[in-house]
Structure 1
Amino acid sequence: MTCFDRRDLGLLLLRLSAGGALAAHGAQKLFGWFGGGGLEGTGAAMESMGYSPGKASATAAGLAEAGGGTLLALGLATPAAGAAAAGAMAGAAAVHFPNGFFAQSGGFEYPATLGLAAVSLAVAGPGRLSLDHVLGDTVNRNWMVPAALGVSAAVTAVTIGARHNRLRKARQDEQEG
């Protein structure tokens, strides 16, 4: 009998792929790596998308993606990591939502998929091939899942709601002016 099974291997592969993609996107925002805009360029883009202040929004999104993605890949603090990454992806999906579902049309397919993968990992746990398991699941307790997802959902709802209000006001000002 082995110390892990195919479920553990599947969770490891999901963590590495989703976590790696999230971490790379966060590094684009924070450091300008992999062709990203860094905090300045991403901040300006975030501002134009209605997330204000732009640089603070870029920092928050970059930290949630890079930090959450790295922790997911490692299988460490999985509930918090998954919740942070899912929140960032919900914010990205809100930007792409008007373009429909498919990514080739600029839709929300990609951020929704990464966000749901992050939530799934938060709920399922990282498996035995993880740092959480090695550390006795001290930062991966069952009660942490709803707590982390609840906090992330609340912060994300406020953030997306504020963006929606800014965009609506800008449209009204444009129509009046």
Structure 2
Amino acid sequence: MDKPVVRDAALLVFRAVLGLIFIVHGWNKLMITGITKTTGQFSAWGVPQPKLSAWVAGLAETLGGAMLVVGILTTFIAGALALLMAAAIYFVHLGAAGVADLGTVGGNNVEFPLLLLVGLILIVVFGPGRASVDGVLARA
């Protein structure tokens, strides 16, 4: 299993799925839920500068997700999205006592953003793989 083609294929699939998840969540903030309602949610959660934060989160998730899918500036984008996920975990998914809401159905569960954070860290550590724009540019 430690063959370059298998590793690159796995990184491609992993990067594409992770990127699509971010695109969907960002698009939802920008176009489905809308910035006004997202700003209200961010305000209720105590996110600082809720309107600016809503725009930053929506645009970063949508554009950053697309960049992950194609693999351009991958480690930089994964690092930036990891910081965004860390902020989301801190401001949204931790309870008032600073304790994560683990496994509560319908609660602000921390498992999903934590999984996204770990996935982004893996991309920062292992890179995008050869099946990416970054990989093609590195070989050129």
Instruction: Please indicate the TM-score interval, normalised by the length of the shorter structure.
Output: 0.7 to 0.9
Instruction: Give the TM-score, by structure 2 length.
Output: 0.84
- Corresponding residue number in structure 2 for 1:125: 127
Contact 2:75–2:128 at 8 Å: present in 1 too? no
Q: Within 5 Å, give how 1:61-80 maps onto structure 2.
A: 61-80=57-76
- Corresponding residue number in structure 1 for 2:21: 21
| SS in structure 2 at match of 1:41 | helix
* Structure showing greater relative contact order (alpha-carbon pairs closer than 8 Å, 6 or more residues apart): 2
CA shift for structure 1 position 64? 2.0
Contact 1:100–1:108 at 8 Å: present in 2 too? yes
Number of residue pairs the alignment of both structures matches: 131
CA deviations 1:1-58 (Å, max 9, x no partner) are xxx61000000110011111011101111222xxxx1111101111111113221110
Which is helix-richer, 1 or 2?
1
Q: Give the aligned residue type for 1:107.
A: N
CA deviations 1:104-147 (Å, max 9, x no partner) are 34320000101110121122101011011122279xxxxxxxxx
CA distance in 2, matches of 1:114, 1:91: 12
Moved over 3 A (4+): none
- Corresponding residue number in structure 2 for 1:109: 111
- Corresponding residue number in structure 2 for 1:52: 48
Instruction: Give the TM-score, by structure 1 length.
Output: 0.68
The percent of aligned pairs where both chains have the same amino acid is 34
The structure with more radius of gyration = 1
Greater mean deviation of Cα atoms: 11-20 or 52-61: 52-61
CA distance in 2, matches of 1:101, 1:42: 23
Q: Give the aligned residue type for 1:29.
A: K
What's the Cα RMSD here? 1.8
CA distance in 1, matches of 2:10, 2:29: 29
Q: Within 5 Å, give how 1:123-162 maps onto structure 2.
A: 123-136=125-138
